[in-house]
Amino acid sequence: MSQNRPAPSFSVISGAQVSEVLDGRGKEVVDLIEATYRLHGEGDTVNPPSYFLRFPDRPSSRIIALPASVGGQVRTDGLKWISSFPENVAAGIPRASAVLILNDHETGYPFACLESSIISAVRTAASAALAADRLSATRARPRRIGFFGAGLIARFIHRLLRDTGWTFDEVGVHDLSAEHAAGFGAYLAHSGEQGALTVHETPEDLIRSSDLIVFATVAGAPHVTDPALFGHNPVVLHVSLRDLAPEVVLTGTNIVDDVEHCLKANTSLHLAEQRLGHRDFVDGTLYDVLTGKLSPAADRPVFFSPFGLGVLDLAVGKHVYDAVRESGQLHVVDDFFHEMRRYG
């Protein structure tokens, strides 16, 4: 005799609602990201390879599917569907747009669709903030930060660092677009940033002037090739994955969030692997750092290259869903699932 379950519901959560839940809660989100990395390191997640939808007539654009499943207290499956269309920026709209689908762990039914460009940016920034904190533990805490790329991800990383207690004496920025660099400077002033702002004309000046460097570009191939630029042993958050030439990353300690995900699709680390024929230059994962298995030396640059795991989106998305539900503000789509009787 089959058991009757209540008819599943389906909700839509807007970007405004997502923002309301996450704004100003950087420490809470970073703690959530750390917990999810620990679940991933313990094997309590499923995070298969992402699928890239590319277009012969639009080679700079792509849409990526990131399926994932998280155990622990999250117990949610789902999919992030995120597009990257760089030419959007010239049209005055953000490069990336995304939705996140959450599926019930027991039935597989999707129960929510969330606007996810904010979730994606926040989890990326929280991952970077977590890494910056833990990878700086063996050296003097950086006081000079440099942003290579002045878009939305750079803004969110700065915000998460600020929300988790970071302060800086100097803030540098370099972008191929003077307009974007100026816009980022205006954001910093509005944010209350107290560090002295410098817009650097050259990448070399930015790198040499920074102890904590954030690469947040849309580069498709390495463009920073001189290892000597990193001779002062900075902490490098290589969020965009393809900025650094193999000869650069091979001079430092290399930390990833997931080895299999990071060493593919011609990332800087993948190119280094192709050159060497092995992966021995990858020192470990952020999970190794979190658990004390790995402690990066202070006498070398340290490069954190996070692929950006779908399990992180799921954890943040489920957190947002729970908060909106508890507030009584869920927008439920009535009768979204219509054919619920096996024989009509």
pTM of the model: 0.94
Buried b (16+ CB within 10 A) or exposed e, 162-200: bbbebebebbbbbbeeeebbebbbebbeeeebebeebbb
Q: Residue 151: which residues within 8 A CB-CB, separation 6 or more?
A: 89, 95, 180, 216, 218
pLDDT tens per residue, range 239-254: 999 999 999 999 999 9
Residues of the chain predicted below pLDDT 50: 1
Class of 124-305 in CATH:
alpha beta
Question: Would you state the pLDDT for residue 1?
Answer: 41
**Cα 256 vs. chain centroid, distance in angstroms?**
12
* Side chain identity at residue 52, one-letter code: F
Beta bridge partners of 79: 67, 101
Q: Copy the structure tokens of residue 164.
A: 């988790």
What's the CA gap between 183 and 151, in Å, rounded?
A: 9
Give the closest residue to 313 by CA, choosing from 9, 10, 18, 14: 18
Q: How far apart are CA 52 and CA 68, in angstroms?
A: 15
pLDDT 10s digits, 152-197: 999 999 999 999 999 999 999 999 999 999 999 999 999 999 999 9
* 10 beta partners: none
Q: Which residue carries 């803004």 as its tokens?
A: 155
Give the per-residue pLDDT at 90. Answer: 87
Predicted local distance difference test score (pLDDT) of residue 254: 98
Tell me the pairing of strands 62-70 and 196-199.
unpaired
pLDDT of residue 343: 80
Query: Quick one: CATH architecture of 11-119+310-332?
Result: 2-Layer Sandwich (3.30)
Q: Break the chain into its structural domains and give their ranges.
A: 11-119+310-332, 124-305
- pLDDT reported for residue 8: 86
Q: Note the pLDDT of residue 3.
A: 62
- Domains 11-119+310-332 and 124-305 are alike in CATH topology: no
The Cα-based distances of 38 to 44, 66, 124, 217 in angstroms read 9, 19, 16, 28
**Residue 339: what pLDDT?**
80
